Amino acid sequence: MRRALAVASGALLLLAAATPASAASPERSGWWNRLSSGALLLPAPTAAPGDLRVASGGDAPTAYAAVLLRAAGSTSATLELVVRGGSAVGTPDVGACPTAKDDWPAGDDQAFELAPAYDCGLGSAVGSPTADGTGLVFLLDGTTQTAPGQWSLALVPAPATAAPFVVDLQPPGPQSFLPAPPDPAADPDPGPAAPPTDPTATEPSGGAAPEPLLPGVEPVPAVPATDFGVAPGPLLAGELPSVGAGTVPATVPLPALAGAAPAGPLRTFATRPVAVAVPGLEGDRLLALLLLVGLPGTVGYAAGKNRSAPQLIGGRAGRAVVATGPVSGAAEGAPRQRGIGRFAKQRERAPRRLR
């Protein structure tokens, strides 16, 4: 007996989980009649109380209805309306289009001037006949919604309808509107978001001590930074040995790890800089040394060399001898060499004047 009850309970749970959503009744409905407007007294329509009439005159609707549906969080739904038997004239072609406003009045056979405006260009759903041909099914989506989770729809002749028709739809009931389950991604109120965590933030004082990263190694204590941005203090469990100026430590002790075999000290070796040979540098140095040594001597020799005094040629030289007196080493009136180059020779008298 208990096993049978458990099986029945499980079947009910599976059936409830497989059901997409519960059906609901429209909140409001009504329809408007163009023939009831004006001062003409026309026969009362044959529609039953609560029915929704949709009629087309071929070029414009003569009557249409509206329904208001709500399902919080849903973005799609199914609307099924039953056709009143014997009311259809012609071939009904009904479409559902969103209304401009959702505050239209409910009621039957209202004046056409009070009908809500609608726009099938924003979205529309054309009613498809049911399998048994007794009703129309409208598949609604987000394009026909007038607000999140709300459909305010005008049931009008489909935009492509050209033939006249009349049809009365029975009042929508609890099984007429079937919304889809709410979409979690479309939840308007997901709740307050968690504040972002700061990876650089530290725990306040008094909190739990941080766990060591390696076994046997103590965590680094929190030390305030100096002006240079370097935190003084030991790097690990022990401090490094002090090193004097100009010395290199031979060994650096390292902290021992728990469970690890002791290892020898880490040895460091001091090295001296390696001389780099540059090709051609020795020759350049020798040439520069020779220039520094030989340049002063060359300048001194050029400055101290005796230069011969300028010599006068021709008759001007003879007059110069008479004016200044005899030249040392030569008798007065002795012939002198005069002329330039191959014309130089001993001359006893002054050259003749040119006429």
Say what the pLDDT of residue 348 is.
75
Q: Which is it for strands 61-70 and 28-33: parallel, antiparallel or unpaired?
A: antiparallel
Backbone phi and psi for residue 142, each to the nearest 5 degrees, phi listed first:
-70, -20
- Please write the tens of the pLDDT for every residue from 325-336: 454 545 555 667
Buried b (16+ CB within 10 A) or exposed e, 64-97: bbbbbbbbebbbbbbbbbbbbeebeeeebbbbbb
- How does DSSP classify residue 228? T
Higher pLDDT, 11 or 95: 95
Tally Cβ neighbours within 10 Å of residue 112: 16
- Whether this model's pTM surpasses 0.75: no
Residues paired with 153 in a beta bridge: 67, 98
Inform me whether the pLDDT recorded for 90 exceeds 70: yes
Higher pLDDT, 206 or 152: 152
Say what the pLDDT of residue 297 is.
78
Say what the pLDDT of residue 323 is.
46
In the chain, what percentage of residues exceed pLDDT 90?
A: 32
Residues paired with 33 in a beta bridge: 63, 111
Q: Could you tell me how many residues make up the chain?
A: 355
- How does DSSP classify residue 112? G
Say what the pLDDT of residue 15 is.
41
Inform me whether the pLDDT recorded for 84 exceeds 70: yes
Strands (E), the chain: 28-33, 52-56, 61-70, 77-82, 94-98, 107-111, 125-126, 128-129, 135-140, 150-157, 165-169, 177-179, 251-252, 266-267, 336-338, 345-347
Average pLDDT, the chain: 73
Say what the pLDDT of residue 44 is.
63
Residues paired with 126 in a beta bridge: 95
What does the alpha-carbon distance between residue 124 and residue 236 come to, in Å, rounded to a whole number?
73
What does the alpha-carbon distance between residue 157 and residue 165 come to, in Å, rounded to a whole number?
9
Say what the pLDDT of residue 94 is.
95
What does the alpha-carbon distance between residue 77 and residue 79 come to, in Å, rounded to a whole number?
7
Higher pLDDT, 349 or 309: 349
Q: What is the mean pLDDT of residues 38-48?
A: 67
Backbone phi and psi for residue 346, each to the nearest 5 degrees, phi listed first:
-75, 125
Cα-only R_g, the chain: 60
Choice among 162-171, 233-242, 270-279, 293-302 with the minimum mean pLDDT: 233-242
Say what the pLDDT of residue 162 is.
76
Angstrom distances, CA of residue 191 to CA of 72, 87, 110: 16, 51, 44
Higher pLDDT, 101 or 26: 101
Q: What is the mean pLDDT of residues 43-69?
A: 89
Say what the pLDDT of residue 183 is.
66
Higher pLDDT, 130 or 229: 130
Most confident listed range (16-25, 26-35, 195-204, 300-309)? 26-35
